Structure 1
Amino acid sequence: MPLPTDEELLKTGSDLVAQMQAIFGLHPGFRPAHARGALLTGSFTPSQQAAALSSAPHFSAPSTPILARFSSSTGIPQIPDTDPNANPRGLAIRFNLPSTPDGRRAHTDIIAHTTPSFPTRTGAEFLEFLRAAAASPPGAESPTAVEKFLGAHPDALAFVQTPKPSPVSFASAAYFGVNALRFVGGEGGKGIFFRYRIVPAEGEVKTLDAEEVKGKADSYLFDELATHLGDSGPIKFKLLAQIARPEEGDVVDDATKLWPDSRELVELGEVTLDELVEEEEGKEMQKNVIFDPIPRVQGIKPSEDPLLEMRAAVYLISGRQRRAAGPPKEVVEGLGH
């Protein structure tokens, strides 16, 4: 995964990493966003419909090994699970594919969050948003910089105002891929635009209200992962694709725009997570695993959404910083990357 050559993209990506570190503090070895996380391993079993939509190898193989990471928002490695700023939660999934003919390891990733959209369309706008937030400390005279930004950006205001409840468990939350992608190589011909959605296999999404959160331990979500695996068995999700209808006005290059709930949801398969990565191994993975929002695999192509290249640049820049920093300097129980 090489760095992009576009100078403006590189500068904005570097500025975004620096701005998040300015807001949340510099924590060598940790991500500047979604710093607190846990790694699990498991497998993906595709549905029959998946291979009809795409020629992606994990949609035709009987089963594919996966690595998944649950995470909490912010760049603060020790943020309590009960802090509202820890929402939205994240789920990244890596499909470990067969090696390439020249022996290189191959994979493709999904990066999803418990919110179905993003506050801005571009990375430059998101940088402006973060800078406005940093310039608006508690007690600042109104209208603050962030209030002015939100007043001029209704999509960002809608994102901020959307409720973001804490989940009962990472296993009981629904996760959304906010960027549109495109299936190719299936029966759909030239391509079908879609967004990923990951939902509990039993179908029920469970969240807590503010009073219920107050009664929870600071690490209730991460503690529950081990309890769930030990008492209830593997964590299972359905991997879905929400199918866009651009001919009816669905926007496929803007992560701030939602598609109607009436759009078709196709089940692509089942995600099964059955084992937590041990802490010591997780520390080493933290240095090396860089999830990629661009699919880079046969059968799935990126859309023209400008956030895709920007997110990839930010993740790669911050990932290289983690590797250079060595193992994390702070230890968080249940932490893995």
Structure 2
Amino acid sequence: MDEDSSKLGAAAVAIRLGTIGAVILCIAGGFAYAGGWLTPGRLTQGKVIDGFEAVNGRHIGFRRNHAKGLCATGWFDSTGAGTAFSKADVLAPGRVPVTGRFAFAGGMPFIPDAPTLVRSLALQFNPRGGEEWRTAMIDIPVFPFANVQAFYDQMIASVPDQRTGKPDPEKMKAFAATHPEFGSAIAIVSKRAVSSGFANDTYNGLDTFLFVNKAGVAIPVRWSAVPVRAFAPAGPPSHNDPNYLFDGLIADAAQQPLQWKMVVTIGHPTDPVSPNVPWPDDRTRVEVGTVTLDHLTAEERGTCADINFDPTVLPAGMRTSADAIPSARSAAYAKSFTLRQRERTAKPPSAVTEAEVQAGGRS
């Protein structure tokens, strides 16, 4: 997919601006959340792509969000536990091929790796029947925006000032003051524990979807990829290696396959669908299978480069919910995909090269 996120509080905005500023820019480029189905002339996928480029600059041939990335391939072993809630073939017991992509949220393809950057894991499940399941997840617990318009307004507020190269603090404070739900979500995000790398990080789908069983009963769900590797806290950034987190991922994969448990949280009909609001901790969680990624490839050689990780590409047995954000992402991802396909012959090499992958992460 193309995929991303950003944050701050209301009363504590002035204090948090310096600390969270970099994360805001990342998340502002993290998710393309506006589609042409909004009021014509007001907010379209084209305007959102223009907003990404205003925040991140224009980088020919790259995704307008999640620009710095690395391809992966592997498989998904289903436990069969998901079939109690969904008729999707991908959840039946067995193994299906998977194509994945690790990336940072944001539209800067050569940004130096840093622990503050929001990480993403996008997956394409390819069962034999041809009904794909695509998902794009990030490593924050909630999305800081209640709706598409709020996301766009914050992105525009975070466009760097030409004199300072940084967002205008007054514009950011004004946005936060008129969107108290933003501050509430940022407070949740700021408490998350940041892992030492991609391989031991938890990735969350954030949006609410519906599982539909064979009887036609639909229930709200959210899903996450929970690492098999033990959590370790993030250390300081490396000033000698601008790709140190990707290089660490490459080294981890060389030692043993990378694995995540796919965990589905079963919601109640009254649970909020808005991704800025968490569900209660007592909701049932079901482990539906394990994703194993055993081969990494630079984007120039990888199969993920031409995949649009559209979160509305779902098999029978899974549907979007009243959460409008996935449809908006779909529209903007499609626009980004069209642009980079046109520009592919002019695209420079990605930051993480195939030579780096082959060298085991030693740049």
The within-5 A match list for 1:308-319 is: 308-319=326-337
- Going from structure 1 to structure 2, the CA distance change for 1:172 and 1:215 (only over 3 Å counts) comes to farther
Match of 1:92 in 2: 122
2:226 and 2:262 in contact (8 A); partners too: yes
Residues in 1 aligned to 2:178 and 2:168: alpha-carbon distance in whole angstroms = 15
Q: Does 1:28 align with 2:60?
A: yes
Q: Does 1:229 align with 2:250?
A: no
Which amino acid is the alignment partner of residue 144 of structure 1?
E
Which consecutive unaligned segments of at least 5 residues does structure 1 have?
101-105
Say which is worse superposed, 213-222 or 193-202, in terms of deviation.
Answer: 213-222
Size of the alignment, in residue pairs? Answer: 318
Shift of 1:143: 6.3
Please list the CA deviations of residues 64-119 of structure 1 after superposition, one character each: whole Å capped at 9, or x if unmatched.
000011111211101111263xx21111110012255xxxxx42201111012112
Which consecutive unaligned segments of at least 5 residues does structure 2 have?
2-34, 357-363
Match of 1:260 in 2: 280
Residues in 1 aligned to 2:353 and 2:243: alpha-carbon distance in whole angstroms = 9
- 3-state SS, counterpart of residue 134 of structure 1: coil
- 3-state SS, counterpart of residue 272 of structure 2: coil
Match of 2:8 in 1: none
Q: Does 1:280 align with 2:300?
A: yes
1:78 and 1:332 in contact (8 A); partners too: yes
Match of 2:352 in 1: 333
Residues in 2 aligned to 1:308 and 1:279: alpha-carbon distance in whole angstroms = 25
Residues in 2 aligned to 1:143 and 1:201: alpha-carbon distance in whole angstroms = 40
Which amino acid is the alignment partner of residue 201 of structure 1?
V
Which amino acid is the alignment partner of residue 79 of structure 1?
I
Say which is worse superposed, 265-274 or 90-99, in terms of deviation.
Answer: 90-99
- Going from structure 1 to structure 2, the CA distance change for 1:278 and 1:255 (only over 3 Å counts) comes to closer
2:98 and 2:126 in contact (8 A); partners too: yes
Which amino acid is the alignment partner of residue 279 of structure 2?
W
For residue 251 of structure 1, the aligned residue among 269, 272, 277 is 272
Residues in 2 aligned to 1:332 and 1:302: alpha-carbon distance in whole angstroms = 34
The within-5 A match list for 1:107-186 is: 107-134=132-159, 138=164, 144-161=170-187, 162-163=189-190, 166-186=194-214
TM-score normalised by length of structure 1: 0.85
- 3-state SS, counterpart of residue 213 of structure 1: coil
Shift of 1:331: 3.0
Residues in 2 aligned to 1:319 and 1:57: alpha-carbon distance in whole angstroms = 28
Residues in 1 aligned to 2:278 and 2:111: alpha-carbon distance in whole angstroms = 29
Identity %: 28
Residues in 1 aligned to 2:161 and 2:239: alpha-carbon distance in whole angstroms = 31
Residues in 1 aligned to 2:265 and 2:87: alpha-carbon distance in whole angstroms = 18
TM-score normalised by length of structure 2: 0.80
Match of 1:103 in 2: none
Please list the CA deviations of residues 214-238 of structure 1 after superposition, one character each: whole Å capped at 9, or x if unmatched.
577321111122211222x100110
- Going from structure 1 to structure 2, the CA distance change for 1:236 and 1:129 (only over 3 Å counts) comes to same
Residues in 2 aligned to 1:329 and 1:141: alpha-carbon distance in whole angstroms = 28
Which amino acid is the alignment partner of residue 157 of structure 2?
A
Residues in 2 aligned to 1:63 and 1:136: alpha-carbon distance in whole angstroms = 50
- 3-state SS, counterpart of residue 335 of structure 2: helix
- Going from structure 1 to structure 2, the CA distance change for 1:150 and 1:184 (only over 3 Å counts) comes to same
Q: Does 1:59 align with 2:91?
A: yes
For residue 271 of structure 1, the aligned residue among 287, 291, 301 is 291
Residues in 2 aligned to 1:71 and 1:139: alpha-carbon distance in whole angstroms = 24
Which amino acid is the alignment partner of residue 261 of structure 2?
K
Shift of 1:6: 3.2
- Going from structure 1 to structure 2, the CA distance change for 1:295 and 1:9 (only over 3 Å counts) comes to farther
2:37 and 2:44 in contact (8 A); partners too: no
Residues in 2 aligned to 1:165 and 1:193: alpha-carbon distance in whole angstroms = 27
1:21 and 1:32 in contact (8 A); partners too: yes
2:211 and 2:319 in contact (8 A); partners too: yes
